Structure 1
């Protein structure tokens, strides 16, 4: 008599070890680029604090003028938007979308220009 061995269902792409949802995170290169900009903004006196938030759907980097305020800028990586508007979004102080894009460099260019104005002015 042949016995049928039930196979376990295949793991979903959003599950990791021990069936925990995967976490969206910045790669080393992405984080290096963001932290480089942060360091230059701190040296220019524009920012004083930051926060990282890594979740199952998106990762964000928030920069603050003061720790008790709302973030002056927030860079969000949302892989679900990769095929549409681009996975990168830059939000301003009031939560307004300043830039969307497929490349981190293009999104950060808005802040780079702001830094140049602050240094020159």
Structure 2
């Protein structure tokens, strides 16, 4: 049996969203699915970033990415919403505030005639 505290044995560190963060993200996601704007999502938990990717159709590239980068906690904030073109649409320390960038899109989706 290997000793996990041995300096040569390292477990790969993985960044993930916790239960509360996922609840906040999935709440916004659910409203946008109900409005007919979004259809699918994927999650990736990597060494330096956790990513929640949002798709309009499952066979295309994500239209948005919600990222959590703890290394940026002391700088501009560890949460970010990134658009399809790679632009950072909103970044901050509070996930709810960062996700408010979707409020405008939700209002537009509800107001649009079908």
Shorter-chain TM-score tier: 0.7 to 0.9
| Distance in 2, Cα, partners of 1:103 & 1:53 | 20
| Distance in 2, Cα, partners of 1:34 & 1:48 | 14
Question: Out of 76, 81, 93, which is 1:102 matched to?
Answer: 93
Q: How many residue pairs end up in the alignment?
A: 108
Question: Out of 75, 99, 115, which is 2:66 matched to?
Answer: 75
Structure 1 runs, 4 residues or longer, greater than 2 Å off? none
Alignment of 1:90 onto 2:81: yes
Superposition RMSD in Å: 1.7
Mapping of 1:1-121 within 5 angstroms?
A: 19-121=10-112
SS at match of 1:21: coil
Which is greater in Rg?
1
**TM-score for both structures, normalised by structure 2:** 0.87
| Distance in 2, Cα, partners of 1:103 & 1:113 | 18
The C-alpha deviation readout for 1:12-41, integer Å capped at 9, x for no partner, is 8xxxxx621221110101000101111111
Unaligned runs of 5+ in 1: 1-7, 13-17
**TM-score for both structures, normalised by structure 1:** 0.82
TM superposition shift of 1:56 = 1.1
Task: Tell me which of the two structures has the higher relative contact order, counting C-alpha pairs closer than 8 angstroms and 6 or more residues apart.
Answer: 2
TM superposition shift of 1:96 = 1.1
